[in-house]
Amino acid sequence: MVLLLQYTIIFASVLCLVALGGCFSEHSGVINLGLEGIMVMGALGGAVTMFMLPAGTSKIVIVIATTLAAILLGMLFSCLLAVACINFKADQTLIGTAMNLLATAAATVFVRAMNTSINPDNVSTSIQYIQPKKAFLKYIGGFEFNWFMLMAVVLLIASYILLYKTRFGLRLMACGENPQAADSVGINVYKMRWAGVLISGFLGGLGGIVYITAGVSEWKFEMGVAGFGFLALAVMIFGQWKPTNIALAALLFGLFRALSNVYTGIPFLAAMNIPSTVYNMLPYIISLIVLAFTSKNSRAPKAEGIPYDKGMR
Amino acid sequence: MKEKKSLLKNPSFQAILTSLICIVLGLLIGYIVLLMINPAGAGDAIKTIILNFLTRSSSAARAKALGNTLAKTAPLLMCALSICFCYKVGLFNIGAPGQYEAGACIGLYAAIAWHTPWFISLILAALAGAVVGSISGALKAYRNVNEVISGIMLNWIILYLTNTILGGKKTKDIASPYTMKLGAGNTKIPSAGLNTLFANNTTVTIAIPLAILFAILIWVILSKTKFGYELRATGFNKEAAKYAGMKEKQNIIVTLAIGGALAGIGAAFLFLTGYQEWSTTQNSVPAMGFNGIAATFLGGLHPIGTIFASFFIQSITDGGALINKSVYPSQISDLISSIIIYLCGFVLFFKFAINNWISKKDKGGPNVNDVPVKDDAAKAEGGEK
């Protein structure tokens, strides 16, 4: 049971972070389908940093450097979305899809080139980080506490405050609801949308490194992040674009995800003999059903997905 | 009064030109990445990626390699047509991979467990894809659910469902994660003598000419029939179509059902040729559907252009597998094709720039460039680290 709790919380942290990222981007009016790609890039940044840091680096340095690298790479990669969709008014669905493919391909190429340059016979696409990963963990009884869990909670509260209690957040949401009106009162819609996308890069990148350090100590970059970015998108929709609801949705979907990992260890669930694919499917099925019942009067930002053109005012 | 018309003003020429710009830029960035990994063999590597089968030593090997590329182009073309058809009607069918999975699931199940002849399996695969497509369509028409979101959710639902169904005892050996090989007889799509043209490559089947026929058929439906006109009208403006007496809800569902059927047939074109088996342990959505997006946009959103674009994308993917793998990663071609897709997002801007340039040259008039130009190439570099 402790294992189930631990997995639920760490997966929920990932989903919560990434979904909040999506939430900021969409509230500013840009649909971010590239979350999966941003996660891959964040994961790459973090994993490479952990790999490169010399043995014996103090724990606190490892934690800070890894986190910062993941965030930085996530934000850099999200610039691709911002440039194309905000400045060049490209199709947001197309660019998001391209980013997902690009991130996985680029990460694979980079990791393989790195491995080969260190050892010419090493053609794998994985990075190992068994030792440095321990810097993130603290054992409380049988429970494996991860510093990322704390970061997720702090960032959740910060996101709530930023979105609802600050001038910046309210302006950001105005740009997603009615950019023309926002512009008419002097808000720079382009800047606000850039801010929204960059924040989603920040949170998505962080989510990426949390995901690949959850439970495993080695990551094969060919796999990308195995659809977690899309699951986060489902969390965001299930949470109706509100941080508090997103946190609850993340807990629920995190539980399903954890169940698919550990259900064989729980006698009552193992006895039911439900294949793990069912637990994997459930989050998506639930979101689809929720969408079917809520989309008529959806809480989605009104102007999301529509490039803002000053001339159209 | 007839003015001499500049070639640059021709929309189809512009479409081809912009696609070529995307390809050249994509290859250039790929080349730079190769140079960064190892400058010595980068020239050879990029040449191998571009030339693909032409780099094989004997003519028989060339023919065989070309056959392999063509065999995989057929399913890719079908996925691209699925996305192209829906896009022309104003729907982004990102659910194509899910419809493709459904086609693979039912098509393979029928062929392996029931030993149905290939054309029955093919029709079942098309129906399965159509059902998945129409789920997205119905959700869009009646519940206002964005087809992109429902498509993404369905991609994953159907992936796990397919793994469960094909993972059963009837279709999979206990020891291996792959589905059983198709038996002899007519469960496989026939080759009809085409294999002899490609050095007896048995994966070359009538799927290839059929896929091209489908491309022509889609083009005819979209641009020459009343049905296609109504679908496109619905895509342009749902309310106006309704006002003009068209059944707009039905049109949305029919569009996605046709898109789904095309993607389902695409799966049949790959798995029923025996080219490969379905891996029941795969935990990511097959890339075929997403590459279809690349082929669609690179093909200038035109069914005929899509044929060439599909071949190109598949050819560089296969070419990537031929480069010196001890030095360069074969995923470099995935990188190139994803950069090309990304650049396709700028197609509108490229066209705008071309037209702007023409009008400036013609009139010497004011520049109406209201798109702020930024150095996106520098940004693209930054994202690849």
Q: For an interface test with B, which of A38, A211, A281 has the most B Cβ atoms less than 10 Å from its Cβ? A: A281
Q: Which of B86, B140, B144, B331 to mutate to test the interface with A (most CBs of A within 10 A)?
A: B331
Residue numbers of the domain that contains A55: 2-226
- Shortest alpha-carbon distance between residue A276 and chain B (Å): 9
- Give the nearest chain A residue to B334 (CA atoms): A105
Quick count: other Cβ atoms within 10 Å of Cβ A141?
7
Query: Taking Cα atoms as reference points, which of B153, B151, B150, B160 lies closest to residue B105?
Result: B160
Give the per-residue pLDDT at B370.
Answer: 45
Q: Which CATH number belongs to the domain containing residue B49 in this structure? A: 1.10.3470
* Count of structural domains, chain B: 1
Residue A296 maps to a domain: no
| B357 within a domain of the structure (yes/no) | yes
Give the model confidence (pLDDT) of A264-304 as tens digits. 777 777 777 777 788 888 888 888 888 888 777 666 788 88
Given a cut of 50, is residue B127 above it in pLDDT?
yes
Per the structure, the count of domains in chain A is 1
Q: How far is B358 from chain A (nearest CA, A)?
A: 20
Domain residues for the domain of B19 are 7-382
Nearest to B284 among A73, A223, A233 (CB): A223
Among the partner residues A102, A112, A291, nearest to B149 by beta-carbon distance: A291
Nearest Cβ partner for A97 among B293, B334, B379: B293
Per-residue pLDDT reduced to its tens digit, B252-306 = 999 999 999 999 999 999 999 888 888 888 888 888 888 888 889 888 888 999 9
The reply to whether B312 falls in a domain is yes
Q: Residue B2 domain-assigned?
A: no
Nearest Cα of chain B lies from the Cα of A139 at a distance, in angstroms, of: 31
Instruction: Classify residue A75: in a domain, yes or no.
Output: yes
Asked if B316 contacts B72 with a C-beta cutoff of 8 angstroms, the reply is no
Res. B1: pLDDT tops 50? no
Q: What is the pLDDT of residue A287?
A: 82
* Residue A63 to residue A132: CA distance in whole angstroms: 9
B82 burial level (CB within 10 Å; 0-12, 13-18, 19+) = buried
For an interface test with A, which of B169, B342, B368, B375 has the most A Cβ atoms less than 10 Å from its Cβ?
B342
Structural domain includes residue B1: no
Q: Do A83 and B160 touch (CB under 8 A)?
A: no
Task: Report percent pLDDT > 90 for chain B.
Answer: 33
User: How high is the pLDDT of residue B351?
Assistant: 80
pLDDT: which is higher, B155 or B64: B155
Distance between CA B195 and CA B203 in Å, rounded? 7
Residue A302 domain flag? no
Task: Give the model's pLDDT for residue B374.
Answer: 41
Question: Which of helix, strand or coil describes residue A30?
Answer: coil
> What count of Cα atoms within 13 Å lies in the side-chain half-sphere of residue A31?
24
pLDDT recorded at residue B74: 94
- For A203-271, the DSSP string reads HHHHHHHHHHHSS-SEEEGGGTTTTHHHHHHHHHHHTTT-HHHHHHHHHHHHHHHHHHHHGGGSHHHHH
Q: By mean pLDDT, which of B136-140, B184-188, B246-250, B281-285 is the weakest?
A: B184-188
Q: Which residues of chain A have pLDDT under 70?
A: 297-299, 312-313
Judge: A77–B161 Cβ closer than 8 Å, yes or no. Answer: no
Residue A94 counted as domain residue: yes
Helix (H) or strand (E) holding A128, with range, is: strand A126-128
DSSP code of residue B42: H
Question: How many other C-beta atoms can be found within 10 angstroms of the C-beta atom of residue B213?
Answer: 11
pLDDT, residue B172, reads: 82
Task: Return mean pLDDT, chain B.
Answer: 84
Q: What per-residue confidence (pLDDT) applies to B354?
A: 83
The pLDDT of residue B382: 36
B319: left (phi over 0), alpha (psi -120 to 50) or beta: alpha
